[in-house]
Amino acid sequence: IVNGDLFGSSEDARKVLGGPPETAGVLGELGLDGLPLNLFWVVGSPAHDPSNLLNGRSTFGALVILGQCAVVDFGHIQVMMYHGHDLSLKGAFGHAWNRFISKLSLERLWKRIAKVDRTLWVFFGHTHIPGVDSRHRVANSGGWQKVPFVKPTKTGLLISEGNDAPELVKIA
């Protein structure tokens, strides 16, 4: 699951992908070529991800673009995937809050304010601070883009059969 802001800008995406997204281009960008997996992409803000991807769900081979928010049932675990850019309009503020004050607190707050069922996992990406909070069932996949004062974590959330919590994994 890639939870938004895969690219630095829409222009960066066009340079990498050469137009409409293609599985090979995105999987190559992530260093995932040839792996037997399905990749779900919840797009972030139009400032980072191409705005033409914000129109809803589409599929390109192993890449499934879910739009800005989606609930996916993996059989043993249900996940709401949401980038989180309207939770903190300034990513730097959200990043600093989660980094220095309370890790994943904005994610927990958003889940409570949005009245999301407690049994549902919610995966975010906006603050770029990776982590998993199994008690509150919130997680952040981390960040792919270099932003001021922040090194990309190049991490993701892996859902494995028989495991009721996601695992934070290094991808590239």
pLDDT of residue 54: 45
* pLDDT tens per residue across span 36-89: 666 777 777 666 666 565 445 555 556 677 777 889 898 889 999 887 776 655
* pLDDT tens per residue across span 113-126: 999 999 999 998 77
Q: At CA 67, angle to CA 63 and CA 68, rounded to 5?
A: 130
Spatial neighbors of 24 by CB under 8 A, at least 6 apart, are 33
- CB 46: neighbour CB atoms within 10 A? 15
pLDDT of residue 46: 65
Q: Which CATH architecture has domain 2-170?
A: 4-Layer Sandwich (3.60)
- C-alpha 140/C-alpha 34 separation (Å) is 25
- Sheet containing 63-67: give its strands across: 2-3, 39-42, 63-67, 58-60
Domains of the chain, by residue range, sit at: 2-170
Would you say residue 134 has pLDDT above 50? yes
> CA end-to-end span of the chain, whole Å?
14
Q: Which of 129, 133, 157 is nearest to 143 (CA)?
A: 129
CA distances from 25 to 13, 70, 109 (A): 10, 23, 35
Would you say residue 102 has pLDDT above 50? yes
* pLDDT tens per residue across span 2-28: 776 666 666 666 666 555 555 556 566
Tokens, residue 20: 């409409």
